[in-house]
Structure 1
């Protein structure tokens, strides 16, 4: 299965020698599941010629706001709507979670709760799942089709399912200790000191990245009635 990565930003260049950029990070998160990957840096105005260029799609994180006037966001939203209508399985992470919601009729804004950085715990069904986060924007009005499947007191809509078509997550299951430490060092200037201190304190606490990586892989590979009908 070929996963097309729609890259919506770049990892800070100071960190890339140690972490790689988004395509490498997501390939690592999903390794061992037999996927192949292709990527398009939509943030640099690189777009696939067709949604059939991949079997499934992944929309990455970004330092940009989904509601900003960046010239690549509207074309990205068009792709999202086309993938949803096709349909093909799609996954969104952080900015990807937000821009998918926005493209399908939801609302994203800068939260009055401020920044969520570092390890966060989310209620996911009957379980508690810990993941690293780095955001201040949130989905405040979900699209009609979205079902909230995870939340906490800070982030009401921490993950969505859109039937069997889209899975999206506000946190970063691809961000490990090294990434959070790097972001604290190079992008921590806009984050309140107390929240940075919390993120620093929680660096060595366990997170459920591997579990989410497996969940994302299972979502991509799931058998679907509409896929059988198209065969």
Structure 2
């Protein structure tokens, strides 16, 4: 199977010399899980053309510093691409911004949350349990970095992960071929911690302190990665 990664953003400038690109993070994530995918990357954020989604095996849309409400030249083409992929039942995964823009394209409501920054390792309760999600516990703790949220999911999308802070943190769509998550299983703890540090002065001090302390909790990113791998290969 070839996984087409749609890059919608990059590592912040202060960190680009220390950390791999987002597509590389996803490749490393799946390789650690033992998933045997071939990969191609579409650098949408720098003007690359989107392929025909009906011709693809599977799609993954990355995180981004942009929001669905921004005036970005590639956003409307991406929405059309998402709707076509969804209708064609092409396997599609979205992470963070990918989670948000898929919900936006398919009729949900996405906006900057009045709750502020979600930073550090958050714990999400598991809601519905599709066959590919066999985590042996009631919750998963995974790194996040966001202000925007899916406020109202599209009709028929089932909530897979939720928390008080992010009620719609994971969605599995009724067509069975679209799966999205707000947190970042591809982020290493080191990178996620650096993102928290970059938010100093933007997020409240108490939010920063809590986020930095949250990494003492073990990461469940491998369990979420396994669920995504199984979903893509099913």
Give the root-mean-square deviation of aligned CA atoms: 1.4
Q: Is residue 2:169 matched to residue 1:167?
A: no
The alpha-carbon distance between structure 1 residues 40 and 187, as it changes in their structure 2 partners (threshold 3 A), is: farther
Equivalent position of 1:9 in the other structure? 9
Q: Is residue 2:138 matched to residue 1:127?
A: yes
Distance (whole Å) between structure 2 residues aligned to residue 202 and residue 149 of structure 1: 22
Equivalence map 1:51-200=2 (5 Å)? 51-52=53-54, 54-125=56-127, 127-163=138-174, 164-200=176-212
Equivalent position of 2:19 in the other structure? 19
Equivalent position of 2:133 in the other structure? none
Q: Secondary structure at the match of 1:190?
A: coil
Equivalent position of 1:229 in the other structure? none
Worse overlay, 181-190 or 72-81: 181-190
Aligned residues: 222
User: How far apart are residue 47 of structure 1 and its match?
Assistant: 2.4
- Map Cα deviations across residues 113-133 of structure 1 (whole Å, 9 max, x no partner): 111100101101361110111
State whether residues 4 and 53 of structure 1, in contact with CA within 8 Å, keep that contact through their aligned partners in structure 2.
no
Distance (whole Å) between structure 1 residues aligned to residue 110 and residue 51 of structure 2: 28
Worse overlay, 158-167 or 183-192: 183-192
User: How far apart are residue 69 of structure 1 and its match?
Assistant: 1.4
Give unpaired runs (5+ residues) of structure 2: 128-136
Distance (whole Å) between structure 1 residues aligned to residue 78 and residue 192 of structure 2: 27
Distance (whole Å) between structure 2 residues aligned to residue 102 and residue 52 of structure 1: 20
User: How far apart are residue 18 of structure 1 and its match?
Assistant: 2.6
State whether residues 3 and 57 of structure 1, in contact with CA within 8 Å, keep that contact through their aligned partners in structure 2.
yes
Distance (whole Å) between structure 2 residues aligned to residue 189 and residue 174 of structure 1: 25
The alpha-carbon distance between structure 1 residues 113 and 12, as it changes in their structure 2 partners (threshold 3 A), is: same
Q: Secondary structure at the match of 1:216?
A: helix
Give unpaired runs (5+ residues) of structure 1: 223-231
Q: After the TM superposition, list the runs of 4 or more consecutive aligned residues in structure 1 that deviate by more than 6 angstroms.
A: none
- Map Cα deviations across residues 50-77 of structure 1 (whole Å, 9 max, x no partner): 2245310001111111121111111111
Distance (whole Å) between structure 2 residues aligned to residue 25 and residue 47 of structure 1: 22
- Map Cα deviations across residues 33-57 of structure 1 (whole Å, 9 max, x no partner): 1101111121222123322453100
Q: Is residue 2:220 matched to residue 1:208?
A: yes
Equivalence map 1:211-226=2 (5 Å)? 211-222=223-234
Equivalent position of 1:227 in the other structure? none
